[in-house]
Structure 1
Amino acid sequence: MKKIVSNIGWLLLEHGSRLIFALLSTSLLARGLGVEQYGLFQYALNLILVFMSISFICGAEVIVPMLVNASAKRRRLILGNAFYLRLFFSILAYVFLVSFVYISDTREQFYLILILGLILLVSEAFSVVTAWLQSQTNIKPKTILVISTSLIKCLIVALLFFFNVVDPIYYAFAWVFEAGFIAFGLICIYKNISKSNFFYFSKPMFFYLLKKGFPFFIALLLMYSFLRLDVIMLRHFSDLVTLGLYTS
């Protein structure tokens, strides 16, 4: 019971710190970019979140219960195939995202989302380690990683702001850094604790996880699409000032 309460405490700390650092980062971003560019940046982040939902094919709802009492061999089989399944759909999501923006947006916006979209390629696939940590009731290492990375990203944004950087592409690298560093950190955490790796592919398990995760995937896909539809609609059916004010 004590371990569960401690785990909940670390989760609350993680979400609270992310919220604080996100508020600081976006406040500086809004001041640094101005209304129109800030609106476009937030549109890009919202669009990426919609397409990222394509990578939610095998969520924690599926793999955490499977990992709770799994042997080392079974754990590698589950994590490895969940990783490759998520990675495949993440690459698919990135291709769809780039195609959508190439057709519907300006070249400037295209290059911004091309860079920000790299978040798609690392975020969900490597978070299989998070699912494993949840199954072990040991979220503390990930929480420390996330807080540290969020702080560094916030400092990068602050530096760009104080040096009067107004190009949103430079700010985009701060978001990509955060996602990439967390992905790298999760691999290090897993190898440090388990003394092994999880890169393993099995066709039967791959399709089994695909089948198990599909109902949750459809629900999440629809939910994230509707949650962010307002910002996407404003971008294409309103002016940039309205978009910037609304997203702020």
Structure 2
Amino acid sequence: MTGPVDLNADLGEGFGRWQLTDDEGLLSVVTSANVACGFHAGDAATMRRVCELAAARGVVVGAQVSYRDLAGFGRRAMDVPSAELTAEVAYQIGALEVFARAAGARVAYVKPHGALYNRAVRDEEQARAVVDGVLLAGARLPVLGLPGSRLLEAAEKAGLRAVPEAFADRAYTDEGTLVPRDRESAVVSDPETVVERSLDLARSGEVTALSGARIRVRARSLCLHGDTPGAVELARRVRARLASAGVPVEAFA
């Protein structure tokens, strides 16, 4: 990151009486909101509420699209035919757009969630299906994803803006991909380490991989997970650390 840094977080991850993320708290910190669109979490009332809160705070709304997997929180591997995935991505974007527009905002970008996000890093067919879903939804929206992924390559080929992101609270492999969540070391849990990794990514565009090697991770946006304990306070600490170092924080979309 050589310029402004966007802070994004996954929001609206609940449905009915169940709520996982502190949406109001995180919306006081982040600049972009990845709103669950009903397939891994979220429902109509939740999407509407989060869009209204985001619009009131000037936070950009993005569609966090997923495999249809409420029971597995969208983190289970699934094999979905390309045409079906394209339609389901478009469906999710369209559903969120209704509530964003009602709140006086709009869906400004798209980011896959969980298993779909990781699958689209290497799977060209699934990556292209996601991008085709964005196009089918009728808007040429930016796509947020891992640097060097098939997803961002597909977005660029389709003429969409490809926005690379980094994760301060996730462990990286030497190849610049995320360590799978089923490994005990996949998540960086120490708050101070997360804060310093955030600043490191913002200043140098580098991060220390699980092996100890320094790897290049050039990104425009930094993801702060909303489903980790103490997520709001950690997000505040990250933003304060960036501010104290003179790093501007603003949305990419």
- Confirm or deny a common fold (TM above 0.5): no
* Normalised-by-shorter TM-score class: under 0.3
Largest Rg, 1 or 2: 1
Bigger share in strand: 2
Bigger share in helix: 1
TM-score using structure 1 length: 0.27
